[in-house]
Amino acid sequence: MPIVHPSLRRKARVAVISSIIALALAGCGEKPKPAEGGMKVPVSVVTVQPQHTAIYTELPGRVEAIKDAEIRARVNGIVTQVAFTQGSDVKEGDLLFTIDPAPYKAARDQADAQLKKAQADARSARLLAQRYAQLIKVNAISRQDYDNALAQAGQANAAVAAAQASLESADIDLGYTRVVSPISGRIGKSLVTEGALVSASSATQLATVQELDRVYVDFSQSTTDLSRLRRALASGELKQTSSGRAKAEVVLEDGTLYDHSGELLFSGVTVDPNTGQVNLRAVFPNPDKILLPGMYVQARIEEGVDQQALLVPQQALQRTAEGLSALYVVKDGKAAQIMVQVGPEVKGKSVIYKGLHAGDVVVVEGFQKIRPGAPVQPMPWNQGKPQGAAPAAAGPDAHKAPAATDKPAAAPSGAKG
């Protein structure tokens, strides 16, 4: 038997295996391509329609007391009584502190005695002038003596007025030993205790009383937003409220909406050169004392009313790699991505200023499974329900999803913005 070299044996095996693979491929043939418009991806959609919507802007702010009275000492002395409960409500005129009145009572008594002495001297001088007036008529005294008597009577009357003023000053100082509340409100902690020495010259602070029945909320707005608002009002895109004064609301630190609404008092006319913002202030009723000075809140200001607002659920919005906002819409049974300009939030929905048209069908759920141009099967979006809850089969009118508003207005022919 002839001897076959091992290398020739390996080449023969490779040739046989290659032939088998080629025959297998030839037998299988080329697989057919999937038909156009194959499997449609189910998506939940809404049809946007213009609606009458109040537009709000939300800005961070701080609560400030309308009246903030610092109680300070107006006389020197020792505090003998703290007459209030710290953190309680006080009324105007309520006694808060007592400063030792003894030296001021003595000063008042001394001023009273000096007034009485001056009044007695004035009476004597007046009677002397009256007698001299009779004597001068018969030339019993000289004219100089009569003039001196009149001058002494005038000086005595002036001394009475000075003594009376000294007595009133002493009464005022004595009254300052009773420190009362200048306003009605809530008083904070006592900054001094009984036995503390307070001074009028340094105006020692004793406590603070703040009126909390109504409070201010101060916040700032950028000049860019302010200019946009003015342009929208001037162009008619936004309508001013009927009252002419903007409505304001407060979102508390825990995210809940404050029960009472307020109103915007003014919008600042001076721009802060460091921040490029203007100051605004709103006033709110505060009957339950929920808003406290210094509290951080979110102020929600009604800018105006958009009578043709286009709203979409916030979950329908996406971010592109370039940082732009985008939406998926259904056109001719296929998904199309559009770039949009997003406005403020209104009750869980976002206002779309540009890029969206009235009547567009917007994909709310299921856009993670699709790409631009992909065939889709639109189904009405049921908020709060899973996507699969909608019927699997869709008729020829499946693309007619429910509108994104309860009462749709007539759709304009052009795009919003």
Q: Are residues 183 and 246 both part of a single domain?
A: no
15 lies in a domain? no
Q: 349: domain CATH number? A: 2.40.420.20
Q: Are residues 78 and 199 in the same domain?
A: yes
Q: 296 with 234, same domain? A: yes
Task: Report the pLDDT value the prediction gives residue 152, as an integer from 0 to 100.
Answer: 95
Residue 267 pLDDT: 63
- Same-domain pairing of 353 and 297: no
What is the pLDDT at residue 395? 40
Residues paired with 55 in a beta bridge: 304
Q: Does residue 86 share a domain with residue 47?
A: no
Contact 328, 287 (CB under 8 A): no
Let me know whether 235 and 348 are in one domain. Answer: no
Tell me how far apart the alpha carbons of residues 335 and 327 are, in angstroms, rounded to a whole number: 10
Q: Answer whether residue 30 is part of any domain.
A: no
CA–CA separation, 344 vs 171, rounded Å?
A: 62
Whole-number Å distance between alpha carbons of 95 and 176: 11
| 149 plus 112 within the same structural domain | yes
CATH of the domain at 95: 2.40.50.100
- Shared domain for 88 and 198, answered yes or no, is yes
Asked if residue 298 and residue 240 are part of one domain, the reply reads yes
* Same domain for 369 and 321: yes
Rounded Cα distance between 100 and 143, Å, is: 55
Picking from 305, 326, 354, the residue at the C-terminal end of a domain is 305
pLDDT at 416: 45
Domain that holds residue 191: 74-100+177-203
> Which residues does 99 contact at the CB level (< 8 Å), separation at least 6?
73, 75, 77, 78, 79, 80, 176, 177, 178, 179, 198
Look at residue 19 and tell me if it is in a domain. no
First to last CA, the chain: 94
Place of tokens 């999803």: 401
The pLDDT value recorded for residue 163 is: 96
Mean pLDDT for each consecutive 10-residue tract of the chain (417 residues)? 50 53 48 52 87 80 93 96 94 96 96 96 94 91 93 95 96 96 94 95 95 92 73 61 69 88 75 80 91 90 75 85 86 87 78 85 85 86 58 42 43 38
Task: Note whether residue 36 is domain-resident.
Answer: no
In a shared domain, residues 223 and 299: yes
Residues 271 and 317 grouped into a single domain: no
Partners of 81 in the β-ladder: 98
> In the chain, how many domains are there?
4
CA distance 231 to 238: 9
Predicted pLDDT at 10: 58
